[in-house]
Every structure is written in structure tokens, then in C-alpha cells.
Chain A
Amino acid sequence: QQPVQSPQAVILREGEDAVINCSSSKALYSVHWYRQKHGEAPVFLMILLKGGEQKGHEKISASFNEKKQQSSLYLTASQLSYSGTYFCGTEMRGTSYGKLTFGQGTILTVHP
């Protein structure tokens, strides 16, 4: 079942912060986050494998609440290059290793 992402779209000015949420109705094994620019393949951001895990690099980080079956992606001090569509991909317990179901996406637009 497709995870639900919120919000559907975010508009920011450079330097502002944003949070994108991803919720699943099923128990999760892992959550993957990707960013996709128009006409290109998705680019891997990070994967969270354990409940309570938090990861980050530079100004993009994420958390995974296994109990609540949800994950959040945090973008701080946004840059123009952050613009794109963000997808969470969830890997559910009991499914094929590496089989992801993607959320509907969150369109992030960063203005100067």
C-alpha cells in the first residue's frame, strides 16, 4: 500500500526550513528518501533501517519512528538546488528485499 506524504507541495525562500512527512499503514523494514529533478531519475538521499534512527548529511536529515510507521525528512537552510520532488520509498516487512513502494511525492520549490 502506498505511503502517504505530506505536504503535497512546499514553497520556500532560500535559507528557510522544511519538513516532509511519510506515513505508512503497514509495518516498515526501512524508509528510503529520494529527490528527483524534472526529467531525471531519482537521486538517493538516505536510508533509515532502524526505528528511532536518525541520519543526516550537510543540511538534510531524516528520522524514522518505527512504532508510528512514519518518517520525516528535514531540510534546513534550504538552497536553490534543493528544488525538486521528494519521494519516500518504504520497504515493508515480509516483502522482497529492496522492493520499494513510493509515496506520491512532495514538490519543493526554493526561490531566491
Chain B
Amino acid sequence: GAVVSQHPSWVICKSGTSVKIECRSLDFQATTMFWYRQFPKQSLMLMATSNEGSKATYEQGVEKDKFLINHASLTLSTLTVTSAHPEDSSFYICSATDRTDTGELFFGEGSRLTVL
């Protein structure tokens, strides 16, 4: 089956620094990927839709200058949390679909960010 991989699986950084998270589709091409954020004991909240070769589409309330998304190739999307603060600490998960008839969406393993 299709596989989506995220890296790193966890990261700890100091307040004010930037962190990059990668999301790769390993055995299929994904023109669209999605980035979610999940705070403890809460649901997954969609942050943005990452479009290959064009600008990402952000959900209402998500700061596009803070959460930079780049989808430079058909297999890689990156999320950069700029000038991270403790309130950005969360579980970030990406997803992608290989657009087969099953309609299944494949999730990465998730990246846990802790900002000190």
C-alpha cells in the first residue's frame, strides 16, 4: 500500500528558532498533501493544503507567515515553523492520497514538536 513518511518524528527546539518538518510520499506521487496539527487530547485540525508547484492554501486562523509550506516536488512537502514559541508545541501530521479508487488517505507517522 501507499506509504507516507515524516521526518523528524520528534524535535525539541528553543523559543525563537525555526523548525522544518518533511513529509514524503514514498511510492506514489502526490500533487496535494495536507498538514494537520493536534494538541493534546484534541482532534486533528487542518492547517493547510499543500499544492505541488503553487502556493499552499491555509485554513482560517492559520498564520501563513509563521507556518511556511513548500511543495517543490511531487513527493515532498515541507512545513517550517518559523520563530517557534511554546504555544506551537504540538503533534504535526501530514497526509496524502494516491487518488486511487479506494479514496484512502495516507497519514505520516507524525512529528512531535516541543518548544522550550
Contact = CB atoms under 8 A, between A and B. Distances in A.
- Tell me if B's interface is mostly helix, strand, loop or mixed: strand
A83 to B, nearest CB: 15
B110 A40 contact: yes
A101 interface: yes
B112 to A, nearest CB: 8
B69 interface: no
Nearest to A47: B103
B96 to A, nearest CB: 7
Given A41-B93, A100-B34, A105 B107 contact: no
* Interface size class of chain B, counting residues whose CB lies under 8 Å from the partner chain: 20 to 34
Contacts of A40: 109-110
Contact of B46 (A30, A32, A49, A101): A101
Contacts of A112: none
Interface in B24-79: 32, 34, 36, 42-46, 49, 57
B91 to A, nearest CB: 8
Interface of B: 32, 34, 36, 42-46, 49, 57, 93, 95-97, 99, 102-110, 112
Given A96-B32, A101-B46, A104-B42, 11 more contacts: A2-B43, A32-B104, A32-B105, A40-B110, A44-B104, A47-B103, A49-B103, A91-B103, A97-B99, A99-B34, A103-B43
